[in-house]
Structure 1
Amino acid sequence: MPNITRRAFAASSAAVAATAGLGLKPGFAQGYPARPVTVIVPWGAGGGTDATARIVAALLEKDLGQPFNVVNRTGGSGVVGHSAIASAQPDGYTIGMITVEISMMHWQGLTELGPRSYTPLALMNEDPPGISVSASSPYKTVKELADAIKAAPPGKLKASGTGQGGIWHLALVGWMKAMGLPANQVGWVPSNGAAPAMQDLAAGGLDLCTCSIPEARAIIEAGKARALAIMAPARNPSFPDVATLKEAMGIDYSTGAWRGIAAPKGLPAEIATKLTASLQKVYDSKEFKDFMGNRGFGTVWGDAAKFAEFMDKGDAQMGDAMKAAGLSKA
């Protein structure tokens, strides 16, 4: 064998040994991604999570040079899709957009999966709940609404925004707790999402809704409802006239629905690092900011470590709210 061939063979063998020690195929880390990547979305096509995942996937593809194909895996109140992400091979070729429900489902006894079942890569979005009333409501400020809630018998006033035990229900429970009221002070009317709940609000069937303002936007802009406050540490730039609870009432309470990118647990560190770096480019891009801003979606960045910390905090918060509402089976 010629010397140059022997040297090449030796170098190749060393590379194989090095990557084998990491449990990777030769050249995997350096050449990742070498083929298309699947991006699992646990919710249906056309929704906010799907739309956010598709812009992220398109911009990852632009940066990393391989297709990032979005696949919707729905069912089980989010369990099916979140399970598909968690159970995939941790090789970087299946990632997914996980959502706030991963910090809720295990408290409800729907799955054993939780935030620590994944390799977190990046937090991309958070939308705090707004507090909206119908245009004909007598309550012009959130303080007036809160005073009416305190004065009313438990359950007399009605609210909605999602199903029983969903994020917007728990947001209401958290607000009640922050005011020192019982979790059921306002009765919850389950709905199939924010859109039908806002329609019901506009028609006079509800006293308030606690969904995100982007979800309520169409009804608000049609003059059929108005937003009184948001449960966030700062105002949403897309809705600058809507005050925070702290500004309006002195209550320092915030929560929200969030979306982030994660991979199965055990993803090699060098692949995770490469994906997080690319996701930060996506987040900082004008295309992403314009896309999210045009829809009123909140943009929040958290790298892998911050995303993990954020999920742990949210998991504890959701557990407290579910226990207060009598919805926890954990």
Structure 2
Amino acid sequence: MLKQTRARGVAALVLMAAGTMSMATQSDAAWPTKPTSLIVIAGAGGGSDYTMRLLARELEASADQPISVVNQAQGAGVVGMTTYVNAAPDGTTVGQMSPFAQYRMLGQADFTSDSFTPIAMINMDPASVSVAEGSDLTSINDIIAKLKEDPTSLSISCGGGCNASWDIPFVSLMLDEGIDVAQLNLIPAQGSAAGLQELTSGGMDIVLCSLPETDALRDAGLVRNVAVFSGARLDRYPDVPTVEEETGRSATGGTWRGIAGAAGMDADLVGEIEASIKAAYDSDGFQTGMKDRGFGAVWMDSAELGAFMREHEAQTERVIDALNP
């Protein structure tokens, strides 16, 4: 009888320990501890929407707290960035950090790297050039030749805000080809998905965006990718040539996505959020989801992202100044 009592006591201790371990595992994610908003600065259906929702799903799974993904694409992303820049710096509202320097240089907003608290980078992808299936433009060289004849002849969707991640490498290439880039018909869109829909309906001649964002329409036979701004062909898209292969010019560039908050966030809080995002980034669900859709999973911590953002400002200013003498 005494042995049975001791056995029951040991079993109870084991169960209590297991419960404590389970509670500790759930609380390992120090953030979010409250319902949180994640602002996406693009519309639903594009690459930004996909990557941010994928991250939010993994964060919720480890923290057991709801994360509301809010799409605010208005003003080519200015509205979304304004929302989380003006939020309380308490970690309950964070947002997508992507190319931002062009807004100040074009008079759309006054963001600088000091406007944000950088937290982490999770994604980087090269820009690509896509046309509608059946278009007479079958290569990047066809596009160059057409624009040399008449720089205003093509409607070009920036896949988001113009003078940003997708069109800067394209415009830089046209500049190198001697085209009067000031006359290019660059048209902003509410994200890449909206630009691609315009392409398939005949409202655009070209869309500049990442390759993964074209997957569904390409697989449906509606869109054709003619070139990618990367140093080598991407493993997932071996049939898409690089711009350098086609033109002989080294031309790379694209976008990047991370998480930031309002300026002035507490350093300890930033560390907690960064750790939670890193755990979500390292998860099988996030890595598999990114790989399945062809998005590049690239990690930078808070300090690395902050340095990268300052480099982005300097590079963007140099390019825009060259295009707008």
Range into which the TM-score falls when normalised by the shorter chain: 0.7 to 0.9
Cα shift readout 1:132-170 (whole Å, capped 9, x = no counterpart): 2344345544345435544x2433344334467253343
Secondary structure at the aligned position of 1:155 is classed as: coil
Residue 226 of structure 2: which of 223, 228, 238 is its match? 228
278-287 or 207-216, which deviates more: 207-216
- Counterpart-to-counterpart distance in 2, 1:242 and 1:172: 16
The match for 1:7 is: none
Instruction: Report the alpha carbon displacement of residue 91 of structure 1 after superposing the two structures with TM.
Output: 2.7
Instruction: Report the alpha carbon displacement of residue 287 of structure 1 after superposing the two structures with TM.
Output: 0.5
- Counterpart-to-counterpart distance in 2, 1:84 and 1:133: 34
The match for 1:282 is: 280
Task: Write out aligned runs for 1:176-195 (5 A).
Answer: 176-184=174-182, 186-189=184-187, 193-195=191-193
Instruction: Report the alpha carbon displacement of residue 254 of structure 1 after superposing the two structures with TM.
Output: 2.0
Instruction: Report the alpha carbon displacement of residue 230 of structure 1 after superposing the two structures with TM.
Output: 0.7
- Counterpart-to-counterpart distance in 2, 1:47 and 1:294: 15
Residues 144 and 260 of structure 1: CA distance in aligned 2, closer, same or farther (over 3 Å): same
Residue 165 of structure 2 is aligned to residue 160 of structure 1: no
Residues 95 and 57 of structure 1: CA distance in aligned 2, closer, same or farther (over 3 Å): same
- Counterpart-to-counterpart distance in 1, 2:101 and 2:63: 30
The match for 2:85 is: 86
The match for 2:15 is: none
Indicate if the aligned counterparts of 1:165 and 1:322 stay in contact, CA closer than 8 A: no
- Quote the sequence identity (%): 35
57-66 or 161-170, which deviates more: 161-170
Residues 233 and 316 of structure 1: CA distance in aligned 2, closer, same or farther (over 3 Å): farther
Cα shift readout 1:191-246 (whole Å, capped 9, x = no counterpart): 55544544554566655332222233333323344212111234333322212223
AA matched with 1:307:
L
Instruction: Report the alpha carbon displacement of residue 255 of structure 1 after superposing the two structures with TM.
Output: 2.0
AA matched with 1:62:
A
The match for 1:16 is: none
- Counterpart-to-counterpart distance in 1, 2:189 and 2:104: 21
TM-score (norm 1): 0.75
Instruction: Report the alpha carbon displacement of residue 189 of structure 1 after superposing the two structures with TM.
Output: 4.8
Task: Write out aligned runs for 1:50-199 (5 A).
Answer: 50-73=49-72, 75-100=74-99, 102-150=100-148, 152-162=149-159, 165=162, 167=164, 168-184=166-182, 186-189=184-187, 193-195=191-193, 197-198=195-196
- Counterpart-to-counterpart distance in 1, 2:157 and 2:74: 22
The gaps in structure 1 that reach 5 residues or longer are 1-29
Alignment RMSD (CA, Å) = 3.2
AA matched with 1:319:
E
Secondary structure at the aligned position of 1:235 is classed as: coil
- Counterpart-to-counterpart distance in 2, 1:33 and 1:153: 53
The gaps in structure 2 that reach 5 residues or longer are 1-28
- Counterpart-to-counterpart distance in 1, 2:154 and 2:36: 48
